[in-house]
Each structure stands twice: as structure tokens, then as C-alpha cells.
Amino acid sequence: MSKRLDENLGAVGYDGLINQCFPTGDVFAVSLRAGQGNLTRGTALALSSGTAGKGDMVLLGTEAVADETLAANCILADDTDTGTAAGDAVNGIAYRTGHFNRNTLIVKEGYTMTKADEEELRKGGILLDDAI
């Protein structure tokens, strides 16, 4: 059976995450810590480093364990399910650069993004603005 070439295969909706097209959003593969549940597009991620850090990404606002440093690093590009139990890291796609709307970013419940977090993101090439 053949497929019609004029068939509507889907639609793209505007979610308000991206503010402007400059700087260009550049994506890269990330390792997400297992057991964080379903992470939604637009989730701000922190990089785990230090002697106890594993180099994986966690939801910004997550409490660091002893000898672990968490610093804002990137923004999740696609919805990703990391499961509910600890285990092997889950692969995901995140923006390493781009211009985003501050009020659309998702952080851990009860956490408020700080100026230090915004500065860490800016150092990596992520600019934040308010949606107009």
C-alpha cells in the first residue's frame, strides 16, 4: 500500500522556550543520572563534578552529596524518562548554547534559579531573557 505525499504527518507547537535564534542553539549528548523521573524539555541541568561527582547531569536544584559539586550547565532539549530507581545513566540531548526565556525553564520544585546559576549558564553560551 502506498502513502500519500500530501498527508499531514504531524505538527510543531511553540513552547516559548527559545527567545531568539542568536546565539544558535547547539545540542549535544548528555548522561542523565537515573532515578530522576520524567524530565521535560526546558529543564535546567547541573553537571556533577568533584571527587564524588560522576560527570552526569542532574535537575538544577538537586542537593549535592558530600564531595560533589553541582553547577548549572545546560538545558534539556527533549523530554526524557530517567526512571524512578537508581541505576545506569540515561542518555539525553541538551542545549549547550542558545538564547532562552528564563520563565520557561524548569528547576527542582522549591528551588529558585540564582544569579550564580545564570552566570554559569552564560559562561557556557546560554543566554537568558524574559519572555515578552
Domain spans of the chain, in order of start: 18-129
**pLDDT, tens digit, 9 for 90 and up, residues 46-74:** 999 999 999 999 999 999 999 999 999 99
CA distance 125 to 96: 7
Q: What is the pLDDT of residue 122?
A: 98
Which of the listed CATH numbers 2.40.300.10, 2.30.40.10, 2.60.300.12, 3.40.50.300 matches domain 18-129?
Answer: 2.40.300.10
Supply the pTM of this predicted model.
Answer: 0.90
Other CB atoms within a 10 A radius of the CB of residue 105 amount to 21
**Per-residue pLDDT averaged across 81-93, rounded?**
95
The percentage of residues in the chain with a pLDDT greater than 70, rounded to a whole number, is: 98
List the end-to-end C-alpha distance of the chain, in Å, as a whole number: 48
The percentage of residues in the chain with a pLDDT greater than 90, rounded to a whole number, is: 87
Question: Do residues 76 and 28 lie in contact, with contact meaning Cβ atoms separated by under 8 Å?
Answer: no
Is pLDDT of 4 > 80? Answer: no
